[in-house]
């Protein structure tokens, strides 16, 4: 009476081992990926904190990223813009001295782009700002980030979902975004 489970287990043993190794590999890979490819949270040349600027002091996004209002590209503010305040504000800080060095040498700060769309996508920031979208809807709560993380998946589904929800005119036509 009774069927032994042992033969079944014997067959399943290699399968279980492969699954186990695979699972460990996935875990290692998941964390190693974040360590080796910090693509979504790059370390910027100067540790600029959005928490201080946009969070604590509540400077509007469009004060610095002013191009978002009138051009397809949101742009990063020029060093001149930084020095507009920092010629008098927090001039003793080592980070600000670094900014001032760039300003005096007439060279731009090599910021690393966090939200980088593929080149075949047409995304005009000005149209989306005009449509009344909050920056946070795509970029996440930047005002709470010391180091900016890419929140948007930057995938086509994100564009389509929003265009459908907002009932954008011809919003799901390919040529609306693809170029």
Partner 1 sequence: MSLIDDFLARWHEYRRPGYYEEFDYHWTMTVDLDRCTGCEACVTACQAENNTPIVGEDAIARGRHMQWMRIERYWEGEYPDVKLRAIPMFCQHCDAAPCETVCPVSATYHNQDGLNAQIYNRCIGTRSCAVYCPYEVRYFNYNNHHWDEPLDQQLNPDVSVREKGVMEKCTFCIQRIRQAKDAAKDDGRRRVQDGEVQPACVQTCPTEALVFGDRKDPDSAVSQMLGNERAYTVLEELNTDPSVVYLKKVDADAA
Indicate whether 51 belongs to the interface with partner 1 (CB under 8 A): no
Residues 116-145 that bind partner 1 (CB under 8 A): 119-120, 122, 124, 126-127, 130
Which DSSP helix (H) or strand (E) runs through 63? helix 61-64
Q: Which is nearer to partner 1, 58 or 169 (CB)?
A: 169
Count of residues touching partner 1 (by CB under 8 A): 13
**What distances in angstroms separate CA 81 from CA 76, 84, 99, 160, 170, one per listed residue?**
10, 5, 11, 35, 38
Indicate whether 3 belongs to the interface with partner 1 (CB under 8 A): no
Q: Give the single-character DSSP code of 47.
A: -
Indicate whether 164 belongs to the interface with partner 1 (CB under 8 A): no
Residue 98 burial class via C-beta count within 10 angstroms: exposed 0-12, middle 13-18, buried 19 and up: middle
Indicate whether 13 belongs to the interface with partner 1 (CB under 8 A): no
Q: Which is nearer to partner 1, 10 or 170 (CB)?
A: 170
Instruction: Tell me the sheet residues that pair with 178.
Output: 121
Question: Under the rule (CB under 8 A), what is the footprint of partner 1?
Answer: 119-120, 122, 124, 126-127, 130, 170, 173-175, 178-179
């Amino acid at each position: 009476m009774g069927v032994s489970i042992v033969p079944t287990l014997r067959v399943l043993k290699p399968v279980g081992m492969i699954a186990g190794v695979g699972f460990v590999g996935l875990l290692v890979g998941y964390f190693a990926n974040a360590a080796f490819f910090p693509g979504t949270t790059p370390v910027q040349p100067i540790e600029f904190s959005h928490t201080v600027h946009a969070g604590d002091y509540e400077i509007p996004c469009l004060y610095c990223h002013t191009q978002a209002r009138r051009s397809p590209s949101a742009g990063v503010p020029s060093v001149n813009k930084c020095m507009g305040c920092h010629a008098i504000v927090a001039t003793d800080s080592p980070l600000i001295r670094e900014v001032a060095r760039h300003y005096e040498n007439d060279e731009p700060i090599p910021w690393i782009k966090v939200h980088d769309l593929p080149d075949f996508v047409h995304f005009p920031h000005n149209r989306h700002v005009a449509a009344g979208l909050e920056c946070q809807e795509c970029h996440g709560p930047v005002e709470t980030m010391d180091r900016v993380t890419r929140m948007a998946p930057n995938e086509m589904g994100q564009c389509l979902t929003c265009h459908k929800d907002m009932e954008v005119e011809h919003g799901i036509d390919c040529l609306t975004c693809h170029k």
